[in-house]
Amino acid sequence: GIELGKLLASTGYITLDPGFVNTGAACSAITYIDGEQGILRYRGYPIEQLAERSTFIEVSYLLIYGELPTEQQLREFSSRVNRHTLLHEDLKRFFDGFPRDAHPMPVLSSAVSALSTFYQDSLNPFDEPNVEMSTIRLLAKVPTLAAYAYKKSIGQPFLYPDNSLGLVENFLRMTFGLPAEPYEVDPDVAKALDMLFILHADHEQNCSTSTVRLVGSSEANLFASVSAGIQALFGPLHGGANAAVLEMLEGIQAEGGDVAKFVEQVKNKEKGVRLMGFGHRVYKNYDPRAKIIKKTADDILGKIGGNDELLDIAKRLEETALSDDYFVERKLYPNVDFYTGLIYRALGFPTKYFTVLFALGRLPGWIAHWREMIQDPATKIGRPRQIYVGAKERDYLPMSER
């Protein structure tokens, strides 16, 4: 403590806040969270109402433009997005360069980064029409890129988008359909995925969104900034947690389903094992998204079938953790990722693909934040300071004296 105090004094009292636990980086009008009470609102609208009554395309509009669209605004917005779902044929060839077993997240991030090379005329962050164009292109093309990353991994041909379908239906068809066979989108599957996308659409200054804003603060273009956000989301402490939860549940199942034993391992911090899908930097109460998702998991697994044994393990795990002092004292509750993997699995997605689904949902949030950041006159290039703790000045040593 004394040493750190001296160091801080020697730097003129820089605020040292690793992980930005208590440092505001921006004023934002997009999303409100009350972590103590478990409240989440997009542009003032409670997440529960949006999940029940809205659609992902409408929520995308709301996040990006600030208001719910009129019927005509929504129709125009949807049709503009639909008209841009095709990829340049040369961009499709990018996928040939990746190994077949490549994880789809870095493939998606690279492909989004590559978009900027195809639209070099629209990269000026201060040109409104260009920003608008890049917004529509991203919303339209990222689902196509995500579906192709999946098709690549299973060695199946790419399907062209069918723009008579909505965003989510089109994505499902490009992911699961085959060129020679008709593909009927299951409305229950489409509805469940649409709702999960709504729940993931924004979460204020989380790690990936802060990354998008930080990269964008150097006036880097929207494609480059979103590509960086996708990489930040990939980490297991952030979006990667949804896949890690399912692997954890399967691990417990393989060991005989003893949740109490697993919870003991977590409490003893054995090999750094954590209860994945639990805990949150901001929520010190039940994550409101997890509440909705838990109910959806029950509904959708009941409707279309799924792994009930894993759902049972998840529920017992939650129950055991929530009645244990370790988790109570630290205010650790299920977060958005605890039950999503079970739903994604029931919808037919492989584990490796779960975090890509998170990225599709978070995309409008990233875009909304980048646009807010670029328009805000208070924005400055993000440039944190540091406390230097390295060697004092010393003279260069010739090789023979080292």
Q: How far is the CB of 76 from ligand ACO (least distance, A)?
A: 32
Measured from the CB atom, the residue of 166 and 341 that comes closer to ligand ACO is 341
Q: Are 142 and 174 in contact (CB under 8 A)?
A: no
Q: How far is the CB of 142 from ligand ACO (least distance, A)?
A: 18
> Which tokens in the block code for residue 359?
């990225």
Q: How far is the CB of 71 from ligand ACO (least distance, A)?
A: 33
242-267 burial, b at 16+ Cβ within 10 Å, e below that, comes to bbbbbebbbebeeeebebeebbeebe
Q: Are 195 and 54 in contact (CB under 8 A)?
A: no
Q: How far is the CB of 193 from ligand ACO (least distance, A)?
A: 17
Measured from the CB atom, the residue of 75 and 330 that comes closer to ligand ACO is 330
Q: How far is the CB of 272 from ligand ACO (least distance, A)?
A: 9
Query: Between β-strands 39-42 and 31-34, what pairing exists: parallel, antiparallel or unpaired?
Result: antiparallel
Cα–Cα dist 200/180, whole Å: 33
Which residues form the interface with ligand ACO (CB under 6 A)?
19, 237-239, 241, 266, 274-281, 330, 332, 335-337
Measured from the CB atom, the residue of 35 and 257 that comes closer to ligand ACO is 35
Beta-carbon contacts of residue 169 (< 8 Å; ≥ 6 apart): 185, 190
Measured from the CB atom, the residue of 77 and 262 that comes closer to ligand ACO is 262
Q: Is 84 tagged catalytic?
A: no
Cα–Cα dist 136/330, whole Å: 42
Beta-carbon contacts of residue 385 (< 8 Å; ≥ 6 apart): 11, 14
Q: Is 188 tagged catalytic?
A: no
Helix (H) or strand (E) holding 383: none
Measured from the CB atom, the residue of 39 and 86 that comes closer to ligand ACO is 39
Per the residue annotation, which of 194, 202, 287, 337 is the catalytic one?
337
Per the residue annotation, which of 203, 280, 287, 369 is the catalytic one?
280
Catalytic residues, by residue number, are 280, 337
